[in-house]
Amino acid sequence: MTTRDLGLIHRFEPGAPDRAPLLLLHGTGGDEGDLLPLGRMVAPGAPLLSPRGAVLENGMPRFFRRLAEGVFDEADLRRRAHELADFVAAARTAYGIGAPVALGFSNGANIAAATLLLRPETFAGAVLLRPMLPFGEAEAGADLAGRPVLMLSGALDPIVPEASAAALADRLARAGAAVEHRRLPAGHGLSQADVAEAQAWLGRAAIPAAA
């Protein structure tokens, strides 16, 4: 069911209480239904929380504003990351779930990365699909000690510079996260390899439901 409660339009699918919930964060032009099939594939039976980005760019939902392709409005990104963290906190209370694993694609991966750096307590871990470095300057105080993060980049991605993804992996690792960063033979779009890698990683990470 789609609802406007808790500050963001979203959908919630209950799941098994022993499965860590997933927070599904769509790319530009997606909505709250976009990544539900992916969530069901990579984490069968897990509770799924899927919000819609509140920013519109030419009518397409996003999670934060950008000034141009690959150029983020960092002030808006910071504000939206805190809003997302507040939404997750409210949803945990409303739905009785633990800290979720963020599963974000493109714009959704970037808001997830920003939230990890600004409000690290929000997520138990993260799967970042085609992310790039969200902030030009390092965030002070981010403590991601042992937080598992999987980053999947596309070797043929025309949108995300390889150096930006590598810089994000380095920044997360320096904040203490346990980062696995893989470059797949893919472009910016998702592939079956992304599904397989994410599913395998979630199995290995074994993140508890009540994290």
Closest residue by Cα to residue 101 from 192, 178, 14, 209: 209
Number of neighbouring beta carbons within 10 Å of residue 47:
24
Domains along the sequence of the chain with CATH:
2-204 (3.40.50.1820)
Return the structure tokens found at 85.
């963290």
Identify the active-site residue in 10, 106, 153, 181. 106
pLDDT confidence of residue 137: 75
Res. 207: pLDDT tops 70: yes
Identify the active-site residue in 26, 153, 157, 194. 157
Active site residue 106: yes
β-strands 2-3, 66-68: how paired?
Answer: unpaired
pTM here is: 0.95
Active site residue 5: no
Active site residue 194: no
Q: Tell me which of 155 and 209 has the higher pLDDT.
A: 155
* pLDDT grade for 170, boundaries at 50, 70 and 90: very high
Closest residue by Cα to residue 124 from 47, 195, 46, 206: 206
pLDDT confidence of residue 140: 63
pLDDT in tens, 107-129: 999 999 999 999 999 999 999 99
Contact 110, 53 (CB under 8 A): no
pLDDT confidence of residue 135: 92
The dihedral through the CA atoms of 8, 5, 85, 193 has a sign that is negative
- Residues 50-59, mean pLDDT to the nearest whole number: 95
Res. 141: pLDDT tops 70: no
Strand spans (E) along the chain: 2-3, 10-13, 22-25, 48-51, 55-57, 60-62, 66-68, 71-72, 101-105, 125-129, 148-154, 178-184
